[in-house]
């Protein structure tokens, strides 16, 4: 059972990534998220929220986002919930990496980055909402 540390709900508009990362920088350290792990969590959160903003809107209305921090035993969980279309980031294939700068294409690596920074990545579709949880293990992250 996870113990909530805090949450914030807001529209998934162009301001959402900044709102989310500002919230994390204010609430992460009191929850035990510090140093290198906080930096990784900030990048993960920015990527996940940016994806919701770009891909999960409802026409003229942006998706609604809720971000939260919780503890589960020795793990710190950062969860992004949205009411957009179902999207399981664990199913996204690893990107093909270019052999040269001429072959390189911008974008398409955010989910790969999240998976590489997280100790675990969870997904659940519940009550019409995506629940993506990035897990940081205490031993690996140096948490509290």
Residue 107 pLDDT level (bands cut at 50, 70, 90): low
Mean of pLDDT values over 102-108: 57
**Tokens (6 digits) for 27:** 């609430």
pLDDT band at residue 114 using 50, 70 and 90 as cut-offs: very high
Given a cut of 60, whether residue 142 has pLDDT beyond it is no
| Exposure class string for 16-33: b at 16+ Cβ within 10 A, else e | bbebbbebbeebbeebbb
Is pTM, for the whole model, over 0.85?
Answer: no
3-state secondary structure the chain: CCEEEEEEEEECCCCHHHHHHHHHHHHHHHHCCCHHHHHHHHHHHHHHHHHHHHHCCECCECCEEEEEEEEECCEEEEEEEECCCCCCHHHCCCCCCCCCCCCCCCCCCHHHHHHHHCCEEEEEEECCEEEEEEEEEHHHHCCC
Domains of the chain by residue range:
3-141
Q: Across all residues in the chain, what is the average pLDDT?
A: 84
pLDDT digits (tens, 9 = 90+) for 88-101: 988 877 766 656 66
What was the pLDDT predicted at 58? 66
- State how far the Cα of 135 lies from the Cα of 115, in Å rounded to an integer: 10
CA 128 and chain centroid, separation: 18
> How many Å apart are CA 70 and CA 57, to the nearest integer?
26
Calpha distance 1→40 (Å, rounded)? 24
pLDDT above 90 coverage of the chain, percent: 56
Where does the pLDDT of residue 106 fall: very low under 50, low under 70, confident under 90, or very high at 90 and above?
Answer: low
pLDDT over 90 at 125, yes or no: yes
Q: Which CATH number does 3-141 carry?
A: 3.30.565.10
pLDDT confidence tier of residue 60, bands split at 50, 70 and 90:
confident
């Amino acid at each position: 059972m996870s113990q909530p540390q805090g949450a914030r709900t807001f529209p998934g508009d162009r301001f959402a990534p900044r709102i989310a990362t500002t919230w994390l920088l204010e609430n992460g350290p009191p929850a035990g998220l510090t140093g290198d792990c906080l930096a990784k969590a900030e990048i993960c959160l920015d990527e996940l929220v940016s994806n919701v903003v770009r891909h999960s809107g409802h026409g003229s209305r942006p998706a609604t986002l809720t971000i939260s921090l919780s503890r589960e035993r020795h793990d710190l969980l950062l969860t992004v919930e949205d009411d957009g279309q179902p999207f399981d980031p664990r199913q996204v294939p690893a990107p093909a990496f270019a052999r040269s700068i001429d072959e390189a294409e911008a974008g398409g690596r955010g989910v790969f980055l999240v998976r590489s920074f997280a100790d675990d990545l969870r997904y659940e579709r519940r009550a019409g909402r995506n629940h993506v949880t990035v897990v940081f293990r205490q031993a690996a992250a140096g948490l509290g």
